[in-house]
Structure 1
Amino acid sequence: MLAWLFTAFLGLSGGLAVGCGFVAFITVLDIIPRLYQLLGGAVSVQWLEKAVIWGVISAMVIDFSDVHFHFLPFGTAFIGLLQGMFIGMLAAALTEVLNVFPILAKRLKLDDVLVWLLMAVVFGKVVGSLFDWMIYQTS
């Protein structure tokens, strides 16, 4: 019973940490306001927020279940297009956020270690991706 409670607590804590990190990430990158601006106010902000929430919930349910989809080529292309749009917007937002590093380095007088800060971010991403692809996916 104690092991079950510990596992439940650990799972809940990890889920809350990841959820808070995701919300902070979306907030820092101003994803919702940028989408609203790109759409020219054609939809309400609440609709965009609900779309993000339902997208996260749908992805979570699909990830935790053993569901396999068999789409026609057109359906697969459409889903790929949506995923590509999301990754493109995320990459554009991250590019703008990376401009924060030089400003932060100048204000904190860390100009000489700016390269090391950026390399730490890059190597952290590479190591995390390699761990996910090579170790986590094979187990």
Structure 2
Amino acid sequence: MIVENLLLIIIGLSGGLVVGSGFVAFLAVLGIIPRLTQLTKTYQFIHVYEWAIILGAVLIGWISLRDTLLFQSALWLVPVGLLNGMFVGMLAAALTEVLNVFPILAKRIGLGDKIIILLMAIVLGKIAGSLFHWMYFVNH
């Protein structure tokens, strides 16, 4: 019993270190946070962005390992969902900009001069897909 628990602790810590290291490498190598501050013109708050990501990852990791109940109204989820969506959207936008995904994609599919149409199609498709998922799958 003690050996099994010790093995589970070692496996859990190892998995956490691997995932955490990959996440940090992803953010550091691609320069996501500095680019995000440059795009939003909030470079003076770079330490706030860094600490927000660190504390958010640790807090959400801790909460996900426990049976945490917050006893809040369902309306409380609206601003939380919006903030999560903004974070993921900004992170994805920074990643695609760093990798120059949209200009390459636009040239390959022949929309080089109409890149705004490509961007709007992606944005509207994401919105429609998210709304469909939440309205159909989550509420049923």
Superposition TM-score, scaled by structure 1 size: 0.60
Corresponding letter in the other structure for 1:93: A
Correspondence for 2:13: 12
Corresponding letter in the other structure for 1:41: T
Corresponding letter in the other structure for 2:47: Q
Q: Deviations over 1:3-26 (max 9, x none)?
A: 232222111111100110110111
Two-structure CA RMSD over aligned residues (Å): 2.4
Question: Once superposed, which parts of structure 1, at least 4 consecutive aligned residues long, lie more than 6 Å away?
Answer: none
Correspondence for 1:63: 64
CA spacing shift, 1:42–1:16, aligned 2, 3 Å: closer
CA contact (8 A) 1:29 1:93 kept: no
Q: Which consecutive residues of structure 2, in runs of 5 or more, have no partner in the other structure?
A: 105-140
Correspondence for 1:32: 33
1:46-85 alignment runs, 5 A limit: 46-69=47-70, 70-73=72-75, 75-85=76-86
How many residue pairs end up in the alignment?
100
C-alpha displacement of 1:41: 3.0
CA spacing shift, 1:29–1:57, aligned 2, 3 Å: same
Q: Which consecutive residues of structure 1, in runs of 5 or more, have no partner in the other structure?
A: 104-139
Correspondence for 2:91: 90
